[in-house]
Amino acid sequence: MSKKLIQIGMDDIDSPVGGCTTHFASIIVEKLSQWIVEWTDYPNLIRLNPGIPYRTRGNGAVSLRFLADTDDLESIIPMVDRLIHDYVKEDYPNTNPGVVFLEGKIPKQVKHLSELALWRVVPIELAERVIETCKIPHYASGNGRGLIGALSAVANTLREDYTYEYIAYRSLKDCKHDRGIDGNSVIAMDKKMGDQVFSNVDPSTNRILIEPHGPDPVLFGIRGETAESVLEASQQVKSRQNIERWMVFRSNQGTGEHLKHDVEIKNLRPYMAAVVKGRVESEPRMIVGGHCIFSIIDRGDRIDCAAYEPSGEFREIVMKLRMGDLVRAHAGVRPASRTHGLTLNLEGLEVVELAKTSIFSNPLCPQCGKRMKSAGKEKGYKCVKCGYRDTEISRTERPLARDLLTGLYLPPVRAQRHLTRPLARSGKTNRNIPYGLISKWHNF
């Protein structure tokens, strides 16, 4: 029998006892691995536009890709449906699961939706229309919002750049208790693994970033450049709670994939993820709550930019901006409210060009060295001490020393989005789809 590529996308699969989409995906992988499927890729963990307000707990969408016999899909679909049913409780209000099943090539409408979902708001109606026109087998409940992430994940094959995440899960009955991650083991691991892993520890506070804080089954997750390195790193982390299952994902985390669009101020829309180039038009000021605000202008349109309090020391950089500086704001667009207009919520700041700001002062007297006074409009300068006059002499210009360099600045690692490309990854791109998987990428 001939084998066919099957791809499954899923999103928003939460359960009242603390399940999440990646955890559910690991259960599906376990079932399918007992079947005779040939995995062509690691499960993909896809993060979408981080500015979307109604996401559940920053939950990522997942896709699975494998070869199976052509008629296998007929039995895989009901199996997945049954497993979701057992996993989520239908009356649990905050979950809107969506799963899609694709055979062979990804239709271009799905690709288009997937690209949109990285930086725009995708209406449910668009997802439903794509499913209908492409006749995509699917499962949805609640308001069906999970279908957006499911379609987005299935069509994102991570060709431009990708990273890996090893995720360890605890048993669902452990979810009420503390994870007991040994911070020192994480710091030691991070040091030993060097640039093969990233965003595990916040360097300025030594805060451990590999563990979530909710009651979900994720015990910890380690991000890195290769499947081998995240697996090796995981073996160095100690925790009080046991690992029940683990799996390696390929992901768009840490790639900056959501910030590929340069948008003019007049074209910005709420919840967009965009890069906006403009000149600083009002100097930064700190407002109540420790938020830092300034505005930029492009082609006569202006917009406020905000670096909020949790962005910590990043605000100190922002406060150094001066009128006329040219910047590229990496931002999520916050909608207007009663108290403020459309605002760029800064996720990063590229200082492109520093304005030439100078201090002008009256010239010094060439005869006695005292600072001269103006002798009146277009009459030059006079010295009040020795009486010297000069109509040719002009003001002296002293460039203002700037304590800021051009370049890219980001909030500290602890305040970055999952998708933010951290400075630790600058200049790094994983472009080639891995050929063959490591022999052990999950524990079941």
The CA distance from 199 to 204, in Å, is 12
Q: Which is nearer to Zn ion, 173 or 385 (CB)?
A: 385
SS3 76: helix
CB of 358 to Zn ion, least distance (A): 24
CB of 408 to Zn ion, least distance (A): 50
Residues 242 and 179 sit within 8 Å (Cβ to Cβ): no
The CA distance from 34 to 86, in Å, is 19
Binding range to Zn ion, per CB under 5 A, among 76-84, 169-177, 363-371, 417-425:
363-371
Letter for the amino acid at 296?
A: I
Q: Which is nearer to Zn ion, 130 or 383 (CB)?
A: 383
DSSP for 390-401 reads: ESS---EEEEPP
CB of 367 to Zn ion, least distance (A): 4
Q: Which is nearer to Zn ion, 17 or 364 (CB)?
A: 364
39 binds Zn ion (CB under 5 A): no
Q: Which is nearer to Zn ion, 287 or 368 (CB)?
A: 368
CB of 378 to Zn ion, least distance (A): 21
Binding range to Zn ion, per CB under 5 A, among 11-19, 49-57, 295-303, 368-376:
368-376
The CA distance from 96 to 142, in Å, is 4
368 binds Zn ion (CB under 5 A): yes
Among 184, 367, 406, 443, binds Zn ion (CB under 5 A): 367
Per-residue x/- track, 371-390, Zn ion (CB under 5 A): ------------x-xx-x--
- Residue 298: half-sphere exposure toward Cβ, Cα within 13 Å: 17
* Span 388-427, contacts to Zn ion by CB under 5 A: 388
CB of 369 to Zn ion, least distance (A): 7
CB of 393 to Zn ion, least distance (A): 11
Record the tokens describing residue 19, joined without a space.
């399940």
Q: Which residues contact 436 (CB under 8 A, 6 or more apart)?
A: none
The CA distance from 121 to 148, in Å, is 10
365 binds Zn ion (CB under 5 A): yes
Binding range to Zn ion, per CB under 5 A, among 169-177, 242-250, 259-267, 361-369:
361-369
Tell me, by CB under 5 A, how many residues bind Zn ion.
8
DSSP for 238-259 reads: -BSSPP-EEEEEEE-TTTTTT-
CB of 376 to Zn ion, least distance (A): 18
Q: Which is nearer to Zn ion, 246 or 381 (CB)?
A: 381
Q: Which is nearer to Zn ion, 269 or 389 (CB)?
A: 389
Q: Where are the beta strands (DSSP E) in 187-309?
A: 197-198, 201-202, 207-208, 218-224, 245-251, 273-287, 291-298, 301-307
C-alpha distances out from residue 35 to 7, 9, 74, 434, Å: 15, 19, 13, 23
Binding range to Zn ion, per CB under 5 A, among 78-86, 324-332, 366-374, 413-421:
366-374
Which residues would be at the binding site for Zn ion (CB under 5 A)?
Answer: 365, 367-368, 370, 383, 385-386, 388
